[in-house]
Amino acid sequence: MSDYVIPVGNMSRAWLDTLQLVHERGGRRTNVLTTVTDPLAPEYPAVRAAIDRVLVPGKHKSGTIQTVDTVAATIFPHTLYAAPGMAWAPELSPVDAARLDLAAADLYEVYSEMLPLLCTADGNKRGTYFGRMVSWPGKEPGGVNQLADRVKYLRQVRRDGKRAHNLSDIAIGGEAEPCANITSPEDAGSAADVSDVDDVGLQVYAATDRRQRGFPCLVHVDLTLLDGQLSMLAVYRHQYLITKAYGNLLGLARLLGYLAAQTGFAVGELAVQATLADTQEQHFGGRRGIQALIDSTLSSALLK
């Protein structure tokens, strides 16, 4: 049965509310929608500390355990991005625009160089989500940089003064092709030209992939522009609420923040649809163990 988690302004609270809802309804639910209205708001320390205590890196009966930051970095490696502290705009000076572009180029280059090594780590043997975004199909450098194509596309939408635009998927099946009709800012033209651009997404899940379990669980990411705000919806086919969900939220929030800064739009909301949400109680102390984790965060004065 579908479940709807009441939208909240904080990512930590959204994760906790999702965990509590699924736990109270049996530990597994289908089509669970979680929404964060302010994805870049500071995390709640009590919630982060509670999940960090559980996610001790190493082998576990549930599989290989990664820290929250490690999981988040598979979606967006924020420590590799030297943010210039500004947002893109059509009127940005050439010097500042060059600084913003250089920061992005450095991120792509450094990550692509690291990619073969990253793919040797436990949990990354089939690649990383960010690797597939910047070097499709994602196991070695030199692939299609889908993220750069998407930024270029959104900048043209901004140049045309659009504050509401029905953007297509940024993720999943189909072929990873560049935005062929816009080759450079100088070549981009009017609003009519933008409507002719092929709407391509950041592909993280190949249509030819026949795996029923395992990587990738993230199968779809969609961007929507409304009232000058860029919002994101991510769809997971299996959302592991203990080992992955918090890191996934953090990584997606950082990716959304990056796209907003690189294109000049305000950050909108982040929504995650889990086709199957799982508290993983069989691996983390049963129902009592999950309840103890929830109680340890709810007891914080900040969350009362």
> Which residue positions in the chain have pLDDT lower than 50?
168-201, 207-208, 210-215, 301
Return the pLDDT at 194: 38
Return the pLDDT at 137: 67
Q: Is 31 exposed, middle or buried (0-12, 13-18, 19+ CB in 10 A)?
A: middle
Return the pLDDT at 16: 97
Mark residue 70 as left, alpha or beta (left: phi above 0; alpha: psi -120 to 50; beta: remaining): alpha
The answer to whether 153 touches 197, Cβ cutoff 8 Å, is yes
H or E element: which one contains 64?
strand 63-65
Exposure string over 241-273, b if 16+ CB within 10 A, otherwise e? bbbbbbbbbbbbbbbbbbbbbbbbbebbbbbbb
DSSP helix/strand/coil, 91: coil
Return the pLDDT at 170: 41
Return the pLDDT at 177: 44
Return the pLDDT at 136: 67
Distance CA 31, CA 113 (A): 37
Which two tokens mark 93? 């000076």
Tally of residues, the chain: 304
Residue 175 makes CB contacts below 8 A (sequence gap 6+) with 203
**DSSP per position, 236-277:** ESSEETTTTHHHHHHHHHHHHHHHHHHHTPEEEEEEEEEEEE
The alpha helices in the chain, defined as continuous H runs, are: 11-24, 45-54, 68-73, 94-118, 129-134, 146-159, 191-195, 245-263, 286-298
Return the pLDDT at 303: 62
Terminal CA-CA length for the chain: 29
| Matching residue, tokens 């816009």 | 182
DSSP helix/strand/coil, 50: helix
**Residue 16: phi, psi to the nearest 5?**
-65, -45
User: pTM score, two decimals?
Assistant: 0.85
Question: Contacts for 59-67 with beta carbons within 8 Å, 24 or more apart?
Answer: 60/283, 61/283, 62/240, 62/242, 62/243, 62/280, 62/283, 62/284, 63/123, 63/243, 64/122, 64/123, 65/243, 66/123, 66/243, 66/247, 67/247
Distance CA 156, CA 227 (A): 16
77 forms beta bridges with none
